């Protein structure tokens, strides 16, 4: 028998920042008081600061999908022509949401593991000048691929369409110049790089998006962006807020501000780079080799090995929870997260565990191969 600490190593929920977790204990607080308004105002201001935008930023008591839903129901009209980029399970979610609200979608689909090329978005925009919106994932968490949202944003900015970016795992893992690149709507979620539990969604909204929303005719009630903006300006949420999570967010944002958003992003990028090098040295294939992002690295299980075995053994041998593939990728890939409160020690341990699991399941690798690769990346980065 060995002690097995539970380690949450998934791309949402992610490891919690301890002071944020402790802050949740002060949630015996009423939300219509000055004490709470102070916290709420600080959260909205700090979110705006770490997102690096002059656009309005709103917060919702919902998982990330709630804000995705709200962006469609508040800004668009029935029958609007839109373009949806689908590179994985979360792109499919955009496709399903716009379909549910009766939008007229041109769906640009690429095989799992790839990213939608910018040229394809440009061609679709040129083919339909009446396009009202373009939907994409900055980081497609199900495959580990990242989209070139900079080039896409600059292309969409030349048209009347708004660019709606699910950056739920993009925020804090890749540079996103919201205002400079024309990212009209940017959506985030608390359980990703924000280091707190699930239950809060964030959204930034540009003047161009607000303008489109003025003519929107889709039904909505709970998620009302205009109402939420008005409430937010008064330091409150429209409905009863997720008080405990907001207290946690306040602490987490203080931490992110203290290290700097750019450093948080670089941390994820370094861990991702180290993971890719480790995979290569272990003879493992990256699932999104052509456009790997830094929020999560998806690795294809060795031929003849079910990735569910790897996921199960992480849990049974080491108490660690890692992500399997979703949908038809289940059993084929496993995913290693880098977003938020992850450090090199987490990665060293996870790679050491992986090597043991591979050896125990008919894929012999010299012990220490992947760990050494990650150590090299650390040593190089630490020199600078
Ligand atoms: C986690 C995630 C979501 C949101 O999922 P919820 O379960 O609603 O929080 C959406 N898009 C991406 C890319 C994600 O990683």
Which residue's CA is minimally distant from atom 4 of ligand 1?
64
> Which CATH number describes the domain made up of 18-259?
3.40.640.10
Residue 214's Cα: distance from chain center in Å?
Answer: 28
Contact 321, 6 (CB under 8 A): yes
The whole-angstrom separation of Cα 333 and Cα 351 is 16
pLDDT in tens, 334-381: 999 999 999 999 999 999 999 999 999 999 999 999 999 999 999 999
The response to whether residue 206 sits with its C-beta less than 6 Å from ligand 1 reads no
The response to whether residue 12 sits with its C-beta less than 6 Å from ligand 1 reads yes
The response to whether residue 63 sits with its C-beta less than 6 Å from ligand 1 reads yes
Residue 268's Cα: distance from chain center in Å?
Answer: 12
Measuring CA to CA, how many Å separate 324 from each of 44, 277, 293, 300?
34, 20, 17, 10
Ligand 1: centre distance to CA 64 (Å): 5
Helix axes 369-383, 344-360, angle to 10 degrees: 160
The whole-angstrom separation of Cα 154 and Cα 217 is 27
Q: How many CB atoms lie within 10 A of CB 100?
A: 11
Alpha carbons within 13 angstroms on the beta-carbon side of residue 360 total: 12
Ligand 1: centre distance to CA 384 (Å): 34
| Paired residues of 188 in beta bridges | 202
The whole-angstrom separation of Cα 272 and Cα 33 is 43
The backbone torsions φ and ψ at residue 194, rounded to the nearest 5 degrees and listed phi first, read -85, -5
The response to whether residue 90 sits with its C-beta less than 6 Å from ligand 1 reads yes
The backbone torsions φ and ψ at residue 273, rounded to the nearest 5 degrees and listed phi first, read -60, -45
Ligand 1: centre distance to CA 137 (Å): 10
Residue 277 in tokens: 């090098």
The response to whether residue 166 sits with its C-beta less than 6 Å from ligand 1 reads yes
Ligand 1 pocket mutation, candidates 189, 335, 340, criterion most atoms within 8 A of CB: 189
Ligand 1: centre distance to CA 90 (Å): 7
- In the chain, which residues have pLDDT < 50? none
Hey, where are the domains in the chain? 7-12+260-382, 18-259
Ligand 1: centre distance to CA 195 (Å): 14
The whole-angstrom separation of Cα 117 and Cα 119 is 5
Q: Model pTM greater than 0.85?
A: yes
Q: Which atom of ligand 1 is nearest to the CA of 189?
A: 9
Spell out the residues 6+ positions from residue 326 whose beta carbon is closer than 8 angstroms to its own.
Answer: 88, 89, 142
Instruction: Reply yes or no on domain 7-12+260-382 having CATH 3.90.1150.10.
Output: yes
The response to whether residue 168 sits with its C-beta less than 6 Å from ligand 1 reads yes
Ligand 1: centre distance to CA 350 (Å): 23
Residue written as token pair 């760990």: 371
The response to whether residue 189 sits with its C-beta less than 6 Å from ligand 1 reads yes
| Paired residues of 336 in beta bridges | 297
Give the single-character DSSP code of 82.
E
The response to whether residue 14 sits with its C-beta less than 6 Å from ligand 1 reads no
Contact 108, 58 (CB under 8 A): no
Scanning the chain, the segments in alpha helix (DSSP H) are 18-23, 34-51, 64-75, 89-100, 118-127, 149-157, 207-214, 225-233, 243-259, 261-281, 307-318, 344-360, 369-383
């Amino acid at each position: 028998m060995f002690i097995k600490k539970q380690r949450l190593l998934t791309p949402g929920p992610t490891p919690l920042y301890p002071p944020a977790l402790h802050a949740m204990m002060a949630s015996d607080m009423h939300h219509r008081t000055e004490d709470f308004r102070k916290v709420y105002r600080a959260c909205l201001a700090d979110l705006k600061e770490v997102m690096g935008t002059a656009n309005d930023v709103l917060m919702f008591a919902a998982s990330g999908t709630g804000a995705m839903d709200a962006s469609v129901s508040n800004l668009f009209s029935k029958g609007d022509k839109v373009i949806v980029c689908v590179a994985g399970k979360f792109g499919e979610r955009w496709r399903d949401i716009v379909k549910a609200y009766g939008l007229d979608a041109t769906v640009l689909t690429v095989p799992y593991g790839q990213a939608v090329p910018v040229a394809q978005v440009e061609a679709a925009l040129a083919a339909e000048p009446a396009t009202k919106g373009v939907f994409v994932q900055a980081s497609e968490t199900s495959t580990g691929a990242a989209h070139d949202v900079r080039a896409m944003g600059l292309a969409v900015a030349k048209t009347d369409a708004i660019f709606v970016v699910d950056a739920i795992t993009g925020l804090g893992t890749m540079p996103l110049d919201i205002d400079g690149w024309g990212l009209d709507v940017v959506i985030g979620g608390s359980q990703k790089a924000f280091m707190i539990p699930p239950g809060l969604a964030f959204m930034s909204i540009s003047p161009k998006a607000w303008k489109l929303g003025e003519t929107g005719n889709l039904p909505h009630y709970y998620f009302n962006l205009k109402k939420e903006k008005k409430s937010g300006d008064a330091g409150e949420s429209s409905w009863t807020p997720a008080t405990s999570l907001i207290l946690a967010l306040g602490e987490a944002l203080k931490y992110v501000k203290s290290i700097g958003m750019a450093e948080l992003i670089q941390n994820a990028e370094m861990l991702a780079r180290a993971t890719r090098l480790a995979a290569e040295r272990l003879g493992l294939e990256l699932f999104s080799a052509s456009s790997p992002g830094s929020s999560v690295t998806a690795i294809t299980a060795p031929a003849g090995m079910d990735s569910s075995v790897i996921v199960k053994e992480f849990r049974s041998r080491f108490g660690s929870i890692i992500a399997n593939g979703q949908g038809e990728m289940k059993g084929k890939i496993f995913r290693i997260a880098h977003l938020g409160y992850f450090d090199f020690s987490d990665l060293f341990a996870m790679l050491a565990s992986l090597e043991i699991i591979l050896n125990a399941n008919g894929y012999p690798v010299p012990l220490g191969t992947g760990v050494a690769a990650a150590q090299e990346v650390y040593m190089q980065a630490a020199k600078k």
